[in-house]
Amino acid sequence: MWKSVWRLFLLVSVLSMLHSCATRKAVTPDVLVTDIDELLASKSRISTVETTFSVVFERGDTKNKGDGALNLSKNGDLSMRIYSLGWLAFELTSRDGVVQSNPPIDRARWAILFTGLRDCLFWWDIKDFLLEEDDHEYVLRSESRSLRIDKRSMLPVSQTITFGDGRQLMITYSDPEYGNGEWYPSRMRMDLFPYTVTITIREISFLTGDQAEIDSHRPHNRAVDRIGLREIPLEERVVAHGIDQPRGPFRVLEDAPDRVF
């Protein structure tokens, strides 16, 4: 009798182990748009992306972490702040083509955080491209960009941005999520030697229409995602000339290193 019980116990244990080791299927969106031109047209109404995120910045064996808030418009105007240990560690703004950062950053980091971030989030805004496809992906190639889109999810898989001096910024997308009426990749990795920047979206909004008109009607004290333990008040300001400061309370992780950039 005891042998039968022991065998039954072993069988149940093995089955439980196999079940726990089974690979979970990734959640993918139910695609309503299957034509690539229709997809790009449906996204073109988005004029502004507003998001909070965590970021990991790597160079060689050095790894720094932080949490940030970003307001980015289609024309490249942006306002971004990154916090570490509850303190403002980095700020980047761009308006009418004038880019400023505090502290100053080198050319490679500027390329990632300005040009790269804009094309990374507004991945569908690609012009004068040639279209190729295989069984699984669409490939859109323009003079400076190559974008791969998964046919099943109609979300980006990867993107390569080529700069005038021949350097290439490699972007990979993963972990699709759904929020505010849109599917989006919640994790983006950007590689430009010697740096790697990985962004994980915590909360995101896709805004349509004129940015100034939209934000002037939004609550000034809107609470963005509470992603940590300490609340850091961000400056309130109505949008002017297409650029905004993130508003409302923002929480940062307590265990982040003491610097990001």
Report whether 50 contacts 253 (CB < 8 A).
no
pTM of the entire predicted model: 0.72
Percent of the chain having pLDDT more than 90? 52
C-beta of residue 205 within 8 angstroms of C-beta of residue 244: no
Name the more confident of 12 and 198: 198
Count of alpha carbons within 13 angstroms of residue 140, beta-carbon side: 24
What residue spans define the domains of the chain? 33-252
- For 37-54, what is the mean pLDDT? 94
Mean pLDDT of 22-51: 76
Q: pLDDT tens digits, residue range 86-139?
A: 899 999 998 887 888 898 888 788 788 888 899 999 999 999 999 999 999 999
Q: In 3D, which of 136, 135, 157, 154 has the Cα closest to residue 146?
A: 157
Q: Right CATH number for 33-252 from 3.90.1150.10, 2.60.40.10, 1.10.3720.10, 2.50.20.10?
A: 2.50.20.10
